[in-house]
Structure 1
Amino acid sequence: METLQKDETLTISGLLDCLPRYTDETNLPDWCQMLCKYYERNERHSYSEITAYIFQKDGGIEYVREIVPVLQKIHENMADEVVRKKMGKMIDHINLELVRYDELMVLVRKNVEQRYTEMMNESITRFQQTNEQIESKLKETEKLVEAQKEETEKIKKRTDEIRKSTEEIKKLQKRYQPRLWKRRIK
């Protein structure tokens, strides 16, 4: 506390950062004095400083949500009417940023969901196209296989016919060959 009171560059960010150390009943008046000193030195708080504090601090959103009720309690019990009014504006601005953040997150979620849906639809479309191509190729292949089977059957039949013809020729050769030799010999 001493370092913040002596610090000539006392900031809203610094006050908000150190608030949890002063939330018990005995230390809270010290924090309120620091806030009064801040507003003595500064006509008003900087909205951009509050916004930057909320969005740049690690866990800023959650932290600010936790300290808003404490700030509201301090605001309700603030004796200095001028500081009370400025603090009310600060709390209002913090709440405004929280609402903006919540609305922004809704839009971001919708955007992410929409993009995810688009990506899924594109993937499904590509999958369906690929599936159709595969089915088409499969049908072509099945036709080729069927045609190949038919050709194989034709070849088997011709081969059987040739074998039968060859056997017939051999039989005929055996049957007529001795006669031909006998005739030649004469």
Structure 2
Amino acid sequence: MALPFLPDDHHYAITAVTTRASQLDQTVVAGIATFLFDRFSAAKIIAGRMRTLDQLALLQCLMEESPECSGADIAGLFARIRMARTDRNKIVHWLWGKSEHPDEAVSSSVTVFKDGERRTWTAQQIYEVAESCMQSTHELNALMTLKHDAAQRDEIVNALMEVAPKGAGLFDLD
């Protein structure tokens, strides 16, 4: 049931955030599996038991240590991901209320034993959080593709090395 005081644009924007944030979360887990592809069983256990913030920290370390990601602004990417996730939590978990302005809505953190927070949002601001989640997902996928391609190439080289004669020139794949 929709909140009657919340404009439709806000409902749609909130839905976009939940969808894009979910895609981002799944991409983080896929990233861990990608960067630990040779230890997939361990990656499954590790990632499956970690909180999302710990998964982010692990994936950031894996990417920073990966030669395929050298030159990429990994720290900047993960700072943007953390900011998007913080905004996502405010959008998804805070209570929504009416604003004095018709194009804005108010979200508030009402948690026992903590100081409350309050923020007004336009639908466009909420959509920007969804866009940030989607952009981060695309950036992670691009870096995962680099790792996957390099890993796949290494597997091919190792397989060829077992059957090909030395010096055959089959390993100049760069």
**Normalised by the size of structure 1, how large is the TM-score?**
0.29
Higher strand residue share = 2
Q: Which structure's relative contact order is higher, taking Cα pairs within 8 Å and 6+ residues apart?
A: 2
The higher radius of gyration belongs to 1
